[in-house]
Amino acid sequence: MTMEQRADATWATDAGWVDEVLLAGPDSAVCFRVPDPITRDQLRRLVADRRERLTAAGLRPGGAAALRLPPSMAYVANLLAVWQLGAQAILLDYRLTDHEVEQARQRLLPQVIVSPQRVAGGLRVFFDVEDTISSHGAQPAPSEHAVIQLSSGSTGPSKVIGRTAADLIAEIRRYTQIDGVASPGERIILLPSMVHVLGLVGGLLYGLHAGVELVPPQRLTGDSILDAIESTATPATVLGVPFHINLLSATAPERRPAQLRRMTTGGELVPAATAARFADRFGVPLGNMYGMTEVGVIGTDLDGSHRPAVRPAPGITVRAVDGELQIAREASPYLGPAVPDRWSDGWLRTRDAGRVDPDTGLVTILGRLDSQVTIGGLQVDLAEVESTIGALPGVTAAVVLFDEVIVAYLQLQPDCRVEDIEARLATLLAGYKRPQLYQVFDQFPRTTTGKLVRDRAVLRAGTT
């Protein structure tokens, strides 16, 4: 029975979906290169081993396991084993402190926590991990979701978000219908963390389902990413976030791998000038993917022809209400008390400003909804100011906020100064739109998903 023939409702309680959707396929088929190839048969045996260990530690169907692991084969094997057992996987970033993990444990009640006993590798995308399991009682999971994730926290405290197995499978199905994603027999150069939605579903789950090899580079450098692309002759798509564009753009210009098919980024919007520079540098399109932890992929523009607009992914309905993008969702994705300011009457508020073209259905994202401010009676769109600054030569990262005055938080290339930015903006923006204060970071603070931090308190603290 194919995934399309199976009624979605049956997936929520049937742990067999892991074998049917993710682990099916020839024993000898390669699913990972890390850098040695990992076949389907090897992966199944790794999952079976972790399933035995989790069961011995006390994990039961209907329970929950918190995975506090970096991207690794240990993470993949434990995640799939948890789902095979009919349990809930709580995904925690391995960089959380013990205090933060304890807070999550008290709130989410996992029966077991899987943590790294040893992590090998420094500047890595994928790690060599020895894991250990601790037991924490026999209480059932507080919800029937297959996976619990925390939002990126780019604008404040993280939200607790749940997704069912049926919801994950529906998103995998969407990926199979999107033109431009990696095809069976091709490769995904996997850069985003598999703890977060882009790397989890767009990379790991889709790759396993579609028969696409997943290839994390050996190190988080531009040259190592190019090495991974060039490691075999099959076509490769780079999946990452805007931070990774800078890594690739800093490599020697003579390296233009013939295997590179495209790069697709999620996270914050990429300025058109940055996309054009990337396409000129590598001769391939820089695709754009718009999504949320709560939904997964919402829209795509994988060949860059609609930038900054995207086309809604199959099965996704988007509308704009008072300038805010909203997504049709049957139920709230949030755990705990109702969140009426984020979900109500079947619609999820994105907090993103945007519009939907009534003729083409294309969705244009205009930035955060709270980017509109009034200065001296005049309306200023901070997203416009930010995108203008971000497109200037010498600007590596930019966030523009209103904090009594317009403040620009910047990361600049070594040969660029604030005075240069001010001089260029004088010819591009009216005076009332230009920042009154500039704060410069040596390294701009980012969330665990690679997004630029927008929390005022964090940014203030980082520049004092």
373-376's contacts with Cβ under 8 Å and 24+ in sequence apart are 373/402, 373/406, 375/406, 375/432, 375/433, 376/432
In a domain, 388, yes or no: yes
CB-CB neighbours of 376 under 10 Å = 6
Dist. CA 9–CA 144, nearest whole Å = 13
Residues 416 and 295 reside in one and the same domain: no
The answer to whether residues 256 and 149 belong to one domain is: yes
Does pLDDT of 319 surpass 70? yes
Cα 412 from Cα 395, distance rounded (Å): 5
- Domain membership of residue 341 (yes or no) is no
State what percent of residues in the chain have pLDDT above 70.
92
Query: For the ranges 4-8, 224-228, 249-253, which has the lowest average pLDDT?
Result: 4-8
Q: Is residue 356 part of a domain?
A: no
Alpha-carbon distance 326 to 66, whole Å? 31
CATH number at residue 12: 3.40.50.12780
The verdict on 2 and 85 lying in the same domain is: yes
Pair (146, 249) in one structural domain: yes
Structure tokens that stand for 246 in this block: 């800078």
Q: Is it the case that residue 202 has pLDDT exceeding 50?
A: yes
Give the chain's domain count. 2
Shared domain check, 384 and 279: no
Q: Which helix H or strand E contains 131, and what residues bound it? A: strand 128-135
pLDDT > 90? residue 270: no
409: domain CATH number? Answer: 3.30.300.30
CA 266 from chain centre, in angstroms, equals 6
**Domain shared by 389 and 298, yes or no:** no
Structural tokens at position 206: 């889709």
User: What number is the average pLDDT over the span 263-271?
Assistant: 85
From 37, 389, 386, 349, select the one nearest 216 (Cα to Cα). Answer: 37
Percent of the chain with pLDDT over 90: 63
Are residues 381 and 254 part of one domain?
Answer: no
What Cα–Cα distance (Å) separates residue 108 from each residue in 98, 101, 148, 294? Answer: 15, 10, 9, 17
Q: Please state, as a whole number, how many other Cβ atoms lie within 10 Å of the Cβ of residue 235.
A: 16
Same domain, 250 and 398: no
Residue 353, domain member (yes or no): no
Give the global pTM. Answer: 0.84
Q: What's the confidence (pLDDT) of residue 154?
A: 45
Instruction: Please give the residue range of the domain that contains residue 143.
Output: 1-312
Crossing angle of helices 382-390 and 418-425, in 10° steps, is 120
The pLDDT of residue 59:
97
- CA dist list (Å): 75 to 2, 49, 52, 69, 85: 27, 13, 15, 6, 16
